[in-house]
Amino acid sequence: MTSGYSDGDNRDDALGWAGDDDPTLVSGDEGGETGTSTGTAADAGTGALEPPEGWTVAGPASAVEAQNAADAALTRTATTSLALVSLGIFGGIYLLYTIGWFIGVARIQNPQADVLSEFMFSLGLWLAVAAPAVWFAVTFWLTRTHPRARIGWLLLGVVLLAPLPFIAGPGVIA
C-alpha cells in the first residue's frame, strides 16, 4: 500500500514545522534536562530562579508577594447582572440628587453680610452639590472587592444625601 506521496515524504511531515529538528531549540519541558537552568536544586522546589545577568524581574520580587498577587486575582469576582443593574439605578439616583442639589442651592438666599461668611456659605453649597457624585465615586472605588458593602454604602448615601432644599423648598433650610 502506498502513502499517496510521490516524492517519498512521510505523512508526519504535515504535522511539523521546518526546523523542528534544530538541536538549538529547546521546549519548555526539556529545560531541566539540558542543564540550562540557573537555579540550584533547592531553588527548583520553590520555583525561584535567578534571572540572567543584565535582566531584571518585572513582577513580584518574592514568592510571598507572588502568592499574594495570585490570591488577590482569585478574590476578584465578576460583577453579577443584579449588581450591574443596581449600580445603574444608584448611578441614576445620585445623578438626580446632584441635579436636585443644584436646583435647591440656586433657590437659597445668602443671609450673610460678612465676606468670609459669604464665601464659606457658598463653598458649603457647592460642596453639597458635589457630595452625591463624590460619594458614588468614592464608594465605587473603595469597595471594588466587596460588592455587598458597595450596595450598603450606596444605599446609606441615598438616605443621607437626599436634596432637602429641593424636596422641602427654600424656606425650610435657612
Task: Give me the pLDDT at residue 173, please.
Answer: 54
Which residues, including other chains, have CB under 8 Å from residue 69's CB and lie 6 or more apart? Answer: 59, 60
Task: Give me the pLDDT at residue 112, please.
Answer: 73
83-112: pLDDT as tens digits: 889 999 999 999 999 999 898 888 887 777
Distance, in Å, from the CA atom of 65 to the CA atom of 71, rounded to the nearest integer, reads 10
For 87, the enclosing helix (H) or strand (E) is helix 81-107
Task: Give me the pLDDT at residue 31, please.
Answer: 47
115-139: pLDDT as tens digits: 898 899 889 989 999 999 999 999 9
Task: Give me the pLDDT at residue 47, please.
Answer: 54
Q: What is the CA angle 117-162-109, rounded to 5?
A: 30
Higher pLDDT pick, 20 / 96: 96
* Cell numbers that stand for 22 in this block: 534544530
Burial of 38 (0-12, 13-18, 19+ CB in 10 A): exposed
47-76: pLDDT as tens digits: 556 767 877 766 656 666 777 776 666 555
Task: Give me the pLDDT at residue 166, please.
Answer: 80
Task: Give me the pLDDT at residue 37, please.
Answer: 47
* Cell numbers that stand for 103 in this block: 436646583
In which band, very low, low, confident or very high, does the pLDDT at 13 lie, cut at 50, 70 and 90?
Answer: low
Task: Give me the pLDDT at residue 1, please.
Answer: 54
Distance, in Å, from the CA atom of 25 to the CA atom of 3, rounded to the nearest integer, reads 30
pTM here? 0.52
pLDDT at 41 over 60: no
To 10 degrees, what angle do helices 147-160 and 115-142 make?
150
Residue 98 · residue 161 · CB < 8 Å? no
Task: Give me the pLDDT at residue 77, please.
Answer: 58
Task: Give me the pLDDT at residue 139, please.
Answer: 94
User: Residue 167 CA to chain centroid, in angstroms?
Assistant: 36
Helix then strand then coil, % of the chain, to nearest 5: 60, 0, 40
